[in-house]
Structure 1
Amino acid sequence: MTPTLPAWRRATTGERRWPVAVAVLVVAGLQLTLPDEVVIGSRWLLPVLEIAVLAVLLVATRFETEPVWRRTVSLALTALIGVANAVAAVRLVIHLVEGRGGDDPGPLLATGAAIWATNVIGFALWYWQFDRGGPTARARGDREVPDFWFPQMQSADLDPEWEPQFVDYLYVSFTNATAFSPTDTMPLSRWAKLVMLVQSAVSLATVALVVARAVNVLR
């Protein structure tokens, strides 16, 4: 008898959008806490725009089918979050290096934490958007070779109905941002390795500079 393919290798009903929607709303909330010195334009501009784009994407509840326009808008939203957070991180680093601001450790740590958390969610969205062609391609089982090798993929006996969803990519992003290296999930493709490298570098720079400045102020 032919063994049944695990869920991640065959067509399935796909995953629901609400975890992604919650993540984007969290990002919008974190951006509202950032000081004006590090944000692009008004602190309300990007959160309002992101929520508006999210509302468009929530027209569909699953990922079995996805028109080109929705895929494009979804990637644009992810890029918007990434660029906005990169600008905030760079501006914060410049301010700290030049000795401008950062005289109060409380707000400084809060700003650093918001940028770091947004970094985790933003890169989770990138991993989720591009692994094996994205959520729709994964739901259809279009690509057999994964970009990320999860532990559940090593043996179908663990859970034959398992397939990666956004929470799994969020976990990968969190562990990469804290350990500065892969943990239980290995990147296989070159793009995945390079993106994880960039995330680790951003996370390390943010944590190191913010904590160092806060410790210096406290002393």
Structure 2
Amino acid sequence: MTDRTKTPSPSGDAASRARGVAPEHRWHTVVATLIALALYALLPSSVTVAVRYTVVAVCVALLIPLIIYNPHHFTRESKWSRRLELGIATLLLVANLLAFAQVIVLLLHKSQNGGTLLLASAQVWITNVIAFALLYWGLDRGGAVSRVTVPRPKLPPADFRFPQDEDHDAIAEVAAGSAAKSGWVPNFVDYLYFSLSNSMAFSPTDTMPLSHRAKMLMALESFAGFVLLALVIARAVSLIG
């Protein structure tokens, strides 16, 4: 995935303070990434062990320099750091989608152990939610650093519209938290919730996709979630029967 527009160079903590928005905390994404990698690594042996561990090792190796670069908060960004952030999310997503395909094939064969496959399905589904959330988070409005340091008129076009983006004309206590009046910008928790709801509802809930790439990613996540859930339910019914 590449950016549609070039992100202006952020100026770090000073720009964040000028915008009145605190830089996003680094460890939300680190913890989520490590959870996803652990779930992927612990998938059943039907997914080649060498492939799983290679993906985990590469993602961890890419994550280390990013933590060193921004150890506590996202206060600075360079071309290489942005590419690594998006690279981790993309690699994890592609690897998990391949595992998803393997789990689907196994779910269609009744000879396989039912309990193990149901657990593997849950692992793939949760990893998918986190991987898509990381990608949404990394792409929207130029990424975490851009969202809090670049003046709004100069931000890249938004990929998603959150409720806070249009709450400025609501009643006072709701409007107070809107993007227009409080400087609110989405952080990883917002994208994680959005990814979870999209994977469960198979459609947008309170957050709407705006760009073509956002719509395509959401469609892929919804489709994968629907197929996996339908086959898991069918498998569970067959086990009960």
Normalising by structure 2, report the TM-score: 0.79
Shift of 1:20: 0.2
Match of 1:172 in 2: 194
Shift of 1:190: 1.8
How far apart are the structure 2 equivalents of 1:51 and 1:197?
28
- Percent of pairs identical after alignment? 39
- Alpha-carbon contact 1:13-1:64 (below 8 Å) kept: no
2:202 matches 1:193: no
Alignment of 1:1-219 (within 5 A): 10=19, 12-39=21-48, 41-59=50-68, 60=70, 61-97=72-108, 99=109, 101-102=111-112, 104-141=113-150, 142-143=154-155, 145-156=157-168, 157-159=175-177, 160-219=182-241
Instruction: Judge conservation of contact 2:104–2:228 (CA < 8 Å) in 1.
Output: yes
Q: Deviations over 1:155-212 (max 9, x none)?
A: 3423114220000000000000000000011111221111111100011111111221
* Mapped partners of 1:130, 1:42: distance in 2: 26
For structure 1, the 5+ residue unaligned runs are 1-6
Which 4+ stretches in 1 moved above 4 angstroms?
none
Helix, strand or coil: the match of 1:41?
helix
- RMSD of the TM alignment (CA)? 2.0
**Structure 1 residue 145: deviation in Å?**
4.1
Aligned residues: 209
Deviation for aligned residue 1:83: 1.0
Q: Which moved more, 1:28-37 or 1:165-174?
A: 28-37
Distance 2:100 2:207 in 1: 26
TM-score after normalising by structure 1: 0.87
CA distance in 2, matches of 1:43, 1:74: 19
Unaligned runs of 5+ in 2: 1-15, 169-174
| Equivalent position of 2:10 in the other structure | none
Moved more, 135-144 or 15-24: 135-144
> Could you tell me how far 1:128 is from its partner in structure 2?
0.3
After superposition, the Cα gap between the structure-2 partners of 1:77 and 1:118, relative to the gap in structure 1 and judged at 3 Å, is: same
Q: Is the 8 A contact 1:40 1:84 kept in 2?
A: no
The letter for the 1-side match of 2:185 is E
